[in-house]
Structure 1
Amino acid sequence: MQASAYRPPVAEFGRYFAVSLIALATDVGVLMVAAWFVHYLWAATLGFVVGAAVSYYLATRWAFAQRRFARRPRTEFIAYVLIGAIGLGLNNLVIFLMVDFLGVALLIGKAAAAVATFVFNYAARKFALFRT
């Protein structure tokens, strides 16, 4: 499942989108189960972290053809996590605002957060990690 040397940007974006959908399904599944046991923001954090791990694995193995730090996986992973931490902050902020201030259901808040974090994460990761 290793990426090839070149992939057209549209194909790469499509693969990243597919990776993001798989990670989102994982994230939402963990969120919904964890929300039965802990506060919804803790559940959102746990879901996001598990989804991010799935995303990292699939993005580096399948979605992106060019990896700036492929020979330095520790650096790559730390950068991926730092971008993910900013994404997590954005995720939880959007969910909090949607649920506590707008009074919408948790899943609707998560949907809005997913859109915001997808755009941020793709742009940041593409620019910082997955280009030459």
Structure 2
Amino acid sequence: MRKLIEQIAKFGVVGIIAFIIDWGILNILVGLFHMHNVLASTISFLISLVFNYFASMKYVFKHRPDMARWMEMAIFLSSAVIGLGINVVIIWLSTYGMNKDAFWSQHAEYLLRTNIGKLVSTVVVAIWNFVIRKWLLDDTHTNAMNRLRRKGEVLTEEELEAKWEKSFSHRLGMWSIEHTPKGWK
């Protein structure tokens, strides 16, 4: 449990930094350049995503030896595309129904609604990202084996190993290794 709390804390720190990058760029694009909020949030999301990928894979999630790096990137990118979709929908809904003809006179309200939408989308996307990445990218098997050795839990090593080998995450990882082109790592 302590490891999970530490991991959530690291995920939170990386997420806060990524949010500051995302939110700052969004507000510059919408506030200063009067860019449409959906386009601006897409640009800011993608820029913060690059930081998030490198920081998450270095500080938050441990590489799994049973998964190829290209599969890690594919999972991260796929979950990010879904996260971007969630982000765009929430940002769009936050200003839905505003009078487009009165845009310039309502710019402050537009910016406020965009920021509220950004806060909501950040929470929703953060939960989505953590669950997917924890499930598919994190080396939970090694952590579980180490915990079992320390505590003498109910499952034996053989039972835990059998459970791990049947898991979708492990089978996906092994498939990725088997289907990695020669010369790739």
Partner SS for 2:96 = helix
**One-letter code aligned to 1:25:** I
Verify: 1:116 aligned to 2:124, yes or no: yes
**Superposed displacement of residue 37, structure 1:** 5.0
Please point out which of 105, 125, 128 is paired with 2:133: 125
Displacement of 1:77 in angstroms is 1.3
- Structure with higher Rg: it is 2
Partner residue, 1:63: 60
1:54 is aligned, of 5, 30, 51, to: 51
1:34 aligns with 2:42: no
Runs of 5+ unmatched residues, structure 2: 99-109, 142-185
Percent identical among aligned pairs is: 24
Equivalent pairs counted in the alignment come to: 125
Where does residue 79 of structure 1 map in the other structure?
Answer: 75
Q: Which residue of 2 aligns with 1:106?
A: 114
Are the counterparts in 2 of residues 30 and 47 from structure 1 also a CA contact under 8 Å? yes
Distance 1:12 1:129 in 2: 13
Q: TM-score, normalised by structure 2?
A: 0.62
Q: Distance in 1 between matches of 2:133 and 2:45?
A: 16
Greater CA drift, 27-36 or 16-25: 27-36
| One of 66, 87, 100 as aligned partner of 1:91 | 87
Structure 1: stretches of 5+ with no match in the other structure: 1-6
Cα RMSD for the two superposed structures: 2.1
Deviates further, 47-56 or 29-38 = 29-38
Deviation at 1:101, TM superposition (A): 4.6
Report the counterpart of residue 25 of structure 1 in structure 2. 20
Alignment CA distance shift 1:41-1:70 (3 Å):
farther
Report the Cα offset of residue 110 of structure 1: 0.5
